[in-house]
Structures are given as structure tokens and as C-alpha cells.
Structure 1
Amino acid sequence: MPVPSHQPTLLIITSETSEAERLMAVLRESHLAKQALTVPNAEHLERAIGNHSCDLVLCCAYDRDIDVDAVLATYQRLGADIPLILITDPDSWETDVSRARRAGVRDLVRRGDSEHLCLSAMRELNDLRARRTAKGLNQRLERCDQAALSLADVCGAGVALIQDGLHMQANPAYAGLFGYVSPEDILALPLLDLIAPEDHPGLRDLLKAIDPDNPPLPTTIEATCVRADASRFRALLLFAPSTFEDEPCLRLIAQPLTIPSSSVATKVCFAAGRPGLIPLIEEIERHIDQQRYVSHPFAIFFIHVPKAADLMRDMGLSIGLEVMDEFSESLANLIGKRGILARVGLDGFGLVVPGLDESSAQALAAELSAKARLPLRVPIQENRPPDCKVGYFVVRDRASAPEDILNAAYRLCVGQPPGSDAVSVAASQDQEEAMARKIEFALRNDQLKLSYQPIISLMGDNQENYSVLLRLFDEDENLFEAKEFIRVAVRQGLIEELDRWVMRSAIEVVGQRRRAGHNLSLFVTLAEESFRNPNFVLWICDWLREFDVRGNWLTIQFHEESVIGNLASIGKLIETLRKIKCRVAISHFGTADRPEILLQALSLDFVLFQPELARGLADDPPKQQRLMQLATLAREFNVKSVVTGVEDARTLTVLWTAGVDYVQGNFLQRPSPTIEIQT
């Protein structure tokens, strides 16, 4: 039911049109209502409430043709949250009072008492607004709680829900922090069982002080925690109010304060959850200043042991863990004093090494892949493949949040195809250097060009939306599409300069077309390296002023893969873009397992689905179902959906049926150096 506006809709039950007009005139004069529906009896009441958005019901009990008992019975049966005021004759006041109370009537007004009617109507409409606002806020709170629980399942922090001193829910990181294999092992376990006895009094006082009717503010305490193996560690415990199955509870976030040390020269943390990330994050932060500039270049590595799961299964948990512990010790000895190593899971390690460039980082990755071996107790074959996979990410100039940098190294590691190593992942050095020279030549000699592909509305939008694409001409006038040189630009540190050229040129084009009378809006993509730069938004502001362009004529677009790995950075960037009125879009949307998390976490205007979703769509029912799910999900968050890669008319028919907002593809029009829709 919508929240009533300043001019709500009334439903008047009377058989006399003149009486309805009189009542409406009284309320209109007091600015309480502007429109009304009139029904003659109880039968029409149910239909009117079901088919119309009504905010207040007035029943003329003095009308001889109105069966008041039938009206009250229908009103009570419907149970709608719409206040009913009964207008009665003074002579029948006593009779009407008793039956009105039983039916839940909000007020009785004597016929002809206009002042009482207006005051009563004002009070009920204000109460209705308050109830509906409260209902909306409760629904938002429930959605936020569900989102928080969903995020807790995948985040690295230890999160649990505590009710009456017992664990009702916990995420894997929380279970791992206390030495439990699965969150199920910790459910219904008393919180005090995980806290050292000397800290029980303070924790008991905190739990006893909680009043369910007056939820506490977030509270932080330090305590000594006890793992399943009886080992201890100090932790910071943050308690905040929450709900579990509609009942009040406490959300607990556990953050360790102490890190185990290793006897080897390199520092190693063996905890399987979030604690292992702490030394890595601290080391990364030492290299980055407040403006996100990198004071000293460094490389972040993720070392993954794919066989770890097989070890646990084939050898058993205890022996498998011993093997991984021995592997971590040998890995630490191999690295020596070159960097900070931390174990961040049962099968993964993070490594930060200062002072490395791309070639030296690649060499170290190759060395680790070749020399880091599981202990000899594992069966060995001649010429066996490497026991670990190594992904690395070199950080220089500017950086995003430490968590995002770690995510980048992780993705580069787990994203390698089977059998590949760190050396073979990179393109041929000679070919890459040749392409880098072409990019530099194009930047210096104005050999970059923009191409445009229309984004066409299926819902009648009259705005001229175009996606901006980059083209490059080399010294021999050979044309290269972006997909042929963008990855090289990223690896060679040229992508920011390309993005600056594209953004400024696009803003200039928008200004020219708008002054010529065209309703143009451009979608421009920013690379991950560019949005790390805190100055990029300042440059956008300068270019908007230079060419007299409004921010809402631009849609800044980010690739979903970059967003997922940089949520901490991208959220702040989107808030800044909102301040200058720019619209925001996510491209290649739907590749993540839970795309709703992005829609919950970020304020978006558009999502552009990956082109693969449109290929063969007309003959692929499962793909059609997936498309409809994503389009419906976008609508639920009031985000417009765009399907890219449309190549045939049959696909267009499916998209129309699915309720997609916009389409883009070569079937509609191929990219063109001019902004003209071909017919």
C-alpha cells in the first residue's frame, strides 16, 4: 500500500451524491483531500478497497439506504490498514458507539460537526502516514539484515549472532577463528565457552545489561578467547543490535589482536581465516599514503596449493594439516627475508615483497612455482607438475584499498588455466613491447579515435544513449580495436592515459551535440587502474566545466569483475560521482554467483549484461530463464537493464518479452565513428 500523499484519496459510503459532494467540499476546504470515490453499499466497499488506493473511509451511518452492520462486518473482515470514520446522527450516537468500537472504527463524528470531522480526518491521515512509514522502514531493516547475513557468509571477518548467550548463527571465518571446521560445530554453543574464565564477569555484565525493548548501541570489549584446541588469543569483540528470526539478538564481530610468530626469518600466520590477512594488510598500508599514492613499489603474491583438498580427503584432516604446515615452513625458508608471508586459508598464502617491478615479480613467481614443493611423504612422480600456483600483482603509483589489492592477486592466481605457470600467463614480451609502442605513438600523434554504438530503448525512451568505444591507428594506419591493446595498456601502465583521453573526448562530444539540440548521453568505461586514482574525478569535474556539460549526460561504466574485487574503493567513488550527478553502470553484469549483492551494496542506474547471454538466446530456454531472473532482479532495485551483443531478430523478440529496458548489438547497428542511428 503506497504511503499517502499530501492530498490523499477518500472513500465515501453513501447513496446520496449530494451528501458525498458536501463532505468532500468540507475536507477540500481544509486541504485534507483532493479526490474521492463514492460507493452505495457494503458490496461495493470490498471491490473499491481491492481495486483502488484509498487512504480514509467515511461511512454515512445516517443514510437510510446504508446497512451499517454490513459495512462494519465487511470492513472488519478485510482487515485493511485504512482508517474508518463513522458519521452518525446525534439521536443514534449511543447505539452506534458500541458497535463501532467492536468493528475497529477509528472515530465517530456527529452529522454536521465539520470541525470535528476535519480534526479526526487529519489525525487519522497523519497516523496512517506514520504507520506506513514505519512499515517501510521495518521492511528495509529486514532487507538490510538479510543482506548483512549474506555478506557475512562470504566476508573474511568473523561474524556470529548471539541470542540468550548462545550462538544462533556464525560464518565460516568465525568458526575457523576459534578452530572449528564448520559453522555448524559452533551453533547453540554458549559464548562463554569461547572466552577465558577471567573475562567471564565482564562479558556476563554486558549480556545481562541488554534490554530487548531498548537495543544497546554498538559496544566493544577486549577479551581472551579460547580455541577448540584450548590455545588462547586476545581479540576485540564488537557487539551490535540485530535480529534473528524476528527476535532481538546481538551481532558479534571478532577481531584478533595478536598474531602467532614463526621461528623462521619470515613472519608467517597460520590462522585459516581473517587473522592471516592482518600482517599483509599492515604491510600494504605501510607502502600507501592517505592519498592512495604508493611510496615504495611492491608486489603482492597469492600462492595456492590445489592439492590441499585432496590431501585432507585422502590422508585425513590431521595428517593433511601437518603436510600443509610443513609446506608453509619450507615456503617461508624459500622466501627468507625478502617479504612478509601469511597463511590465509587451508590452501593459500599471501606474500608482500617490496621493491619489485614486473620482471622481477615474474621471476620470483616462477621460482616459487618451481621450488615450493609438498613434503616427501606425498607420492612423487618424475617430472611432476608444480605443487602450487602463483599469481602476482605489482603495485606502483596509486593503489586501491589493501583488501582490493589482495583480491587482485588472488584472482590472478585462481584464474590461471590448468597447467599454466606465471611465466606463460603473460603475452610474448616482444609482441607486448611492440603494441606498447603503438599505443604511445597513438597518444602522442592524435591517432586515437572514438566509435559509438547506440543503446536503444525498448520502452520508448527518447534519449540518444551511445556506448563509447576506443580505436587506435598505428604509424602505418592499421586499425586496432580496444580488445587488441587494452590488456597491454594495463600491464604497461598506459591505461590511465588512455582513459583520460577517452573521458575528455567523450565530454567534448557530448557538449557539442547538446548545443546542436541533440538529447545525447554517453556510456564511458573506466578501467580499474583509473578509478584507483583519487584525482580522476577532479579531472572529470574540470572537463565538465571546460565544455559546459552536465554530469547526468554521462554514464560512468565499470566492469563487474573489477567491482567485485574493489568494493571498498568503488563504493566511495560512486558516492563522489553521485555528487556531480553522473550516472553509474556495471557492465558484464551477471557473471558473479550472487549479483544481488552488488545491487544491494552500490547505487546504480544501469546494468549491462554480458554479451554471451544474448548469443543463441532464442534457442536456449535455460539462458532465457537466467536473463529473466537478472532483468527482474534489476527492476526490484529500480535499475535499468541493458542486453549487449544482440545479433539477430529472434533474440530481440525474447528480450521484449522479458521486459528488458535497453538493447545494444551489431544487429541493431555496428559501431560507427559518427553518432547517427542507421535505419
Structure 2
Amino acid sequence: MGNIVADQSGSRMSARVWSLVALVLGLALSALVAHWQHGKLVEDRHMQLARIAARSAETLNSELAFASQMIRSLQAAFLSADRVSPREFATLHRILDKDHFVPALRLLEYAARRTAPDGGSRYITEMVAPAAGNDALIGLDVSARPNDLEALHRSAGSDQPVLSAPFRHGDPIRGEWLAVSFRLPVFTRGAPPATQDERQDRLAGSVAAIFDVSALLKVGLPPDVLANFNVDVRDAQTGTMLFQSVIDDPGPREPHIELVEDVRFGERIWRLHLTAMPSNTSRSTEAGLTLAIGLLASVMMALAVWSLIGMRQRAQRLANKLASQYQASETRFRALNDLLPVAVALVRADDGRLDYINDAGRRRFGQHLTPLLSTLDQLIDDPEMVRQVRSVADTGQALIEQTIHLGHAGGFWASLSVTRVELDGEYKLLMVASDVSELRELTERLRFQAMHDDLTGLNNRRGFDTELDRAIAAVDAGGIPRALLYLDLDQFKVVNDSSGHAAGDELLIRIAACLRDQLGPSDRLARLGGDEFGILLADGREANARATAQRLCEVVAGNIHRLDQRSVAVTASIGLVILDEPGMTRGDALSMADTACFLAKEHGRNRYYLYAESDAESAHRRSEMEWPGRIRQAMADGRLSLDYQEIRSLRKEVTGAGARVEVLLRMRDPSGTMISPGNFIPAAERFGLMPLLDKWVVETALSNFDRLHPDGPNLSSCSINLSGASVDSEGFADVIIDAIERHRVTPGKLCFEITETSAVGNLRRVQTFMRRLRAIGCRFALDDFGVGMASFGYLRQLPVDIIKIDGSFIRKIDTDPMSLAIVRAVAEIGHHADLRVVAESVDSVELPARLRMLGIDYVQGFALHRPEPAVYCRDRFAAPPIEEEAGQGFDAVPDSTARSPSPDGSG
């Protein structure tokens, strides 16, 4: 019994010992496993955080690379166009900021290079987009932001995107914020500059994209970085804090994990300090569980096995979670690449096989491309382009901008960036292609519109000038002669006035088509403006040019056009110039063609005229074309003046009545010599300068009214001649009324002389003009009466007060019975209509008595008074009045018929 009890007790003791041993071993093993598990978790967490940190630098670098491509596309827009307007700049901003692919972008700027007073360079901001809230930046000198200016200089020296040091920036919408800019230079047109000196010489300005640093880093840093780290981003060169994020710290339980990553881009280094907080998962629970499992292992093996399995399952779940997190991060990275609007591809440098391509790349290069099964030759089917891309493996980095031709997806304009990168010890080529087709299309469309006429589709004057310059340069280089034709439609204004401008435009389109059909493929046709066309013949032989000009005249005249249910036919006058002599300029050629066209019209229209230097008519016309400039210069130099000629009464005047005068326009050359009005007045009429001269005469006469004649303020009447062009102008009556009011001249003392030919152009408008001035008290005289075929008819239609009989009748009353009868009839009709009658060109002292018997009221002529300078001019101009052909004088402004001068100086 005792042995049994002892054995049982020993067994129990042994069981207890073994249990204790098992317990101790289980506790030791559990402690060992717990310690190993804790170390493994810490190690895995270190590795996980290190991968996240490295990926954060890569992601941020990709974000900066994308931003640099955007500013490179902006630079491409400036390099591909002669000029980018503010409106086009705003369009570029909308294109680049489309769908907010770069949310941190705040604005785009263009700063033009200007020369400072000290001889240096300044960079003045001329365009900003978006304009809203940023208008204060227009005119800002970039030097106001030293960090931005430093980036501008570095980019100008290297023609590479440069990231500026951070600087403070503000606007009315967001207030003040920390900013950085990407800078690229803008050079003048031409081949890309190869050296730094050449880049400096051709630097025209700088484009910049300004980003909110905080927003840029929030977008560029992956979410898992911000969730696991306290992030501190600084500019390594300046030490400026760029970004800082803080995770709430529940209290230190383990040492912090600190990592440092450098992002090198655009000549700057951004240093990322990443401080990871310890995991909130308690490892003591797992260690206790392991110890509990060890205690229970000796009691219940199944529970131990189950506990072990459960522990392995938990470990597996933890591993799966970590793998899942890594896979999710990689998926997010690929998804981000697939969302980019630019095509991204990774190609092996050694054999050209494709490792990766994003969705945008597949859409552009072809959906058939498969990584590892496709090659660079399948990606791009242009052998020269493939060669350039492969060369990057040896040269390092290149930027190519040209049309990329694809084998399966058409072609598009792209800015292609190819960079050599090293991944897992292998060199690969990273290709980024940004589609700039829309920008190129816009540029080409603007270029086309700038060189072509909207109505006819032909070249406009600018495009024709370019073609003419090339032709002249070819002739200067010894090429074959060319022929220039200047075609002007005859009486085209009648079509516009009678049928409307829409019908006129339709007629121009039809005539342009007719002209185009008569020319060869190498000839050039352009609409120079209005109803004028320019033609440049490739075959400049005189015989061919004459035949072509004659054929064009016949074609234009031979076509009957139906416009607005009316048949319309027009003719053309053509000026022809043979371009066969070197040294001619574009201005010379066009001037000669215009002269020849004018002479064609002078010879009856519907014909051509060949310009020749030896031709007297051509020489006279060329000389006449100099007069507009001489007239304008005389006005600017103050070389215009007024003479006056007295008009004497044949009636008994009221005692004390002042003198009656007519003012006459005079012009002197720079030396002070008087120029005959017969030289400059016809030219002024022909080139449309008469309204300008009329305005000068009215303003000068009224502003010096009390200093025109020695009678001063007692002057009874002052007559001023007006041209047909001025009378026909809608606003000229307002000019006269304004001058009368400003200078406080009594309207009843003013008499405006017009000829019947002045009223022919637009009788109704002339009637309105006269009624407006008569309403305030002014009077009107019908000058040169009797020379027209309908003189008496105009007496009923025009509200005149005075008739001035033309001097050709007055001079012949003693020798020509018809002239005597006409003078008598005019006087009788004038008195019957209660009008005063004036006789011009009274050249003998006997005539006034004879004219008084005929009923004439007033006389004017050299026999009574020779024109002399107005009182206000006598100190300035000492030269005597002009005397030509017995002292002839001219009206202030003759009408468009270029009347002959009267010997007495009257109008």
C-alpha cells in the first residue's frame, strides 16, 4: 500500500517535475519566441517605412518632373510663334491647367527682357494667367523676388528647367503663401542656341509656373507617408521650411524611427526628414499569449497545437496585410501614372524592349503594345526618331520636339523627353511624350489667318509682301525677271452704294475666283485691301506680262454678275511693273505699280499701263505722290498761312461798314519760298487731304478772326472756300460749329463758298450740311457759277445766299455777246431769288461801272485789290504775295474738279 502511495506520489512528483520542467521549458520557449516575434515586427516595420520613404521621394520627383514638362510646353508655345498675345497666353493656361492635373499650380507668368538705364537687363512681367486677382503683377520686375530672379538667370544659362528657392508670394484671394517657380528662357526665333553666350544674346524673356509649395507637397507626398510619418521638408540650400505635418503622439513607447531622403530636381535639393511614430499595436499581449500557450501546452496539447496554428494564422494575416499595403501602394503609383495626360513609357537601354507603358501611352502609341513583348521599333516607326532615342543611352538626356509618326495610331505633335535612368543595376530609358497637337494647330491657324484674307481666302497684303520680297531677292541674286500687277476695280464704290456691302463682298469673291483661274500654279494672287488685288507672275517677260494683264482686263469686263436680282458688270485698271533690275525695294515696286494703275485709270480705265522710268507721265505721277508728305510736313512745321482779298461793293454801303474779304490758302517751302497753289492743291484733292486742309483753314481763320484784316473786329464778312470732300463729310459741320462757339465768332459774318461740282457727289448730304450752318446764321455762296451744265438748276436745290459768277464770263463781256447775256441773266435771276451777285476776275478799272449797270452787287479782282498776307501772318512771313500769270490767286480749297486759277485771285 505504502509503495503504491509512494509510486503515485512519485508519479505525481515526477509529473509535477516534468510539468514544472515542461512549464519552465514552455516559458523559456515562449519567452524566446516572444522575443523573436518582437524583433521580427520591428524589423519588418523598419523595412516597410524605408520603402514608403524611398517611394515618397520618387513620387515627389515625378510630380516635379511633370511640372517641368508643363513649363517646357509653355516655352514651346513662345518658340513656335512670332508673338504670344495675352489672350493666347490665357488659352495656354487653360490648356495646361485642363482638369487640374497640377492642383498646386497657382499662375503662369511671362517676363520680357528689357534694357535697364545702367545697361544691364531687367525682366518685367508682361502677362499673367489667370488674370483674376493677379493684375497687380503686370509690370512687376522679377528682381523684386531675388530667389525667382536667380532661377531665371540659371535657366537662361542652361536652357533647362530650374526650380527657384522658395519665396513669399501673395494675392487678394489666398493671402500670402510660400511659393516656388519653375523657370525656362524664351529665345528669339531661330535654331536652338548652342552656347551659353549665344543663349544670353538671344534671350528675349522668361516663362514661369508658380506653385504653392504646401499644396505641391501635399499632392506629391503619398498618403501613406503622411499617415505614418511626421514629415519635415526643407530647402537644403537655404534651410527654409517648406512643409511640416505632425501626427498626434500618444506617448513614446519605443525609440523613434528617423529617415532622410533627398529630392534633387531643377538644380535644387529638397530634404525630407521623416520621423515615424511607433506602432500602436501592443506586443506584450502577443508575448503573454505565447507564455500562456506555453503554460497550457503541458496541460492540453490540442489546445497548444490550436494555439500554435492560431499564432501562425495571425502571423500570416499580418504578413498578408503588409504585402497588401505594399501592393496597394504600387497600384496607386501605377494608377497615378495611368491618370497622367502625358504618355509615359520605360524602355530597356540595351535591346529596346518595352518594360512599362501607361494608359495615355497606349492610347497614343497603340493598344497592341505589351510590356516585354514590344520593342522601341514598334513604339515609333520613324527610324531617325528611334536612332535619336537610342542615342540617349550614351549621351544621358535629350529633349526632342517634332512630329512623331506611329505605325498604328496616326501621328501627333509631341514634346518628347527621354531620360536615362538606372533601375536594379540596369540602364533604362524613361520616355515622356506630351501632346502639343492642339497648340501646334492653334499656332498654324493663327499663322494662316495672319497671312490670308478672310473674305476671298487669298493671301493678304502681309502675305503678298513676303512673296514680293522673295521675288525681289531672287532678281537681286541673278534670277529670272518677275512681273508685278496692281489691279484696281473701276467704280466699285457704285456697287457698294447701290447694292450694299454684302453684294460687294460677293462680287469680290467671284472676281477673285475669275482671276485665280487665269493664273498659273507658280503665279501669286493676293487681295491687298478693298477692291485692290496684287499679282506676281513667275514669268516676267514683258510679252507674257502684257498678254496676262490684257487677258485679266478682258475676263473682269466680260463677266456679268447677278447680284440682288440685278446684273452688275465691272472693269479693272491694272498697273504693270517688270521686276528685272537689282536693287529695287518692295516700296519702290508697289509705288511704281500704283502709279501705273493710276495712269491706266487716267487713260480711260478697263486697261493696263506698263510703268517705265523714262515715261513722262510716270515721272509726273511719281513726283505728285510726294506731295502728301510735303503737305503734312508743312502743316507740322507751321509753313501754311492765309492771304485775304477784298470784295468791293457796287452798292451804296452803310457808313462804317467793315471790309468784305475772301481768305486764300498759301504754303511755303522750308526756305520760305512761296509754293504755287497749282502744285499742291490738286495733289491734296487727289490724295484725300482736302478735309485736313479745310479744317486747318477754318480753325486758323476763326481763331484769328480779329487779326485777318486791318479793320480787325469791324470786319463785315469773311468768305471761306470748302472742298467737295469736306462738304460731303458727315462730321464737318460739327467741326465748324464747334470752332465758331470756341472762338466766339458771329456766324453772320461767315460765308462759306462751294462750287456746284461739290454738290454733285451727294446732293442730299450737302443740303443737310448747308441747312445746319444756315440755321445758326452762316451764309453760303455758289462759286464759279455758270461753268457747270446744270448751274441754274442748282439754284432751286441749294439754299445759297450769294452767286459768284465765274471769271471766264466776266473777262469776255466786252468781246463775247454770249458771256454778256449770261452775266445779265445771272444777275436778273439772282435778284429775282433775292440773292446777292458777285463778279470775279475783275481785271480792269473800267469793268466795275459796266458791271453795276448789269445789276452786279459786288466785284472782286486784281484791279481792285491784290491778295496780301493776313495781319496775324505779317510778322512771321515777310515774303510778298504770290504772283503768277498776272497775280493769280487760289481759293483756300478748290473742289475735286481742280478748277483753273482766276487771274484776279478770286475763287
Band of TM-score, shorter chain: 0.3 to 0.5
Q: Report the TM-score, using the length of structure 1 for normalisation.
A: 0.41
Which of the two has higher C-alpha Rg? Answer: 2
